[in-house]
Amino acid sequence: MTPKKKPSHHEARLDHFPQKKIYINVTHLEKGDYELNIVHKNKLISKTTFKKS
């Protein structure tokens, strides 16, 4: 017999909901690979890549 796993419980709380939105329209970008870096006070917050084909 294999031991039964205990069910795990995850919980998350948000301090606040975003009040503003930023839209990036990639329609006019040339085809290719792109890297998007979001920086705040010279510190990298988020980094993502995408490809426009």
pLDDT value of position 49: 96
**Inter-residue contact 34 to 51 (CB < 8 Å):** yes
Distance CA 31, CA 36 (A): 15
pLDDT of residue 2: 67
Residue ranges per structural domain of the chain: 28-53
Determine the pLDDT at residue 39: 95
Asked if pLDDT for residue 53 goes beyond 80, the answer is yes
- pTM value is 0.56
pLDDT, tens digit (0-9, with 9 covering 90-100), for 1-52 = 667 778 888 888 878 877 899 898 999 899 999 999 999 999 999 999 999 9
Tell me if residue 31 falls in helix, strand or coil.
coil
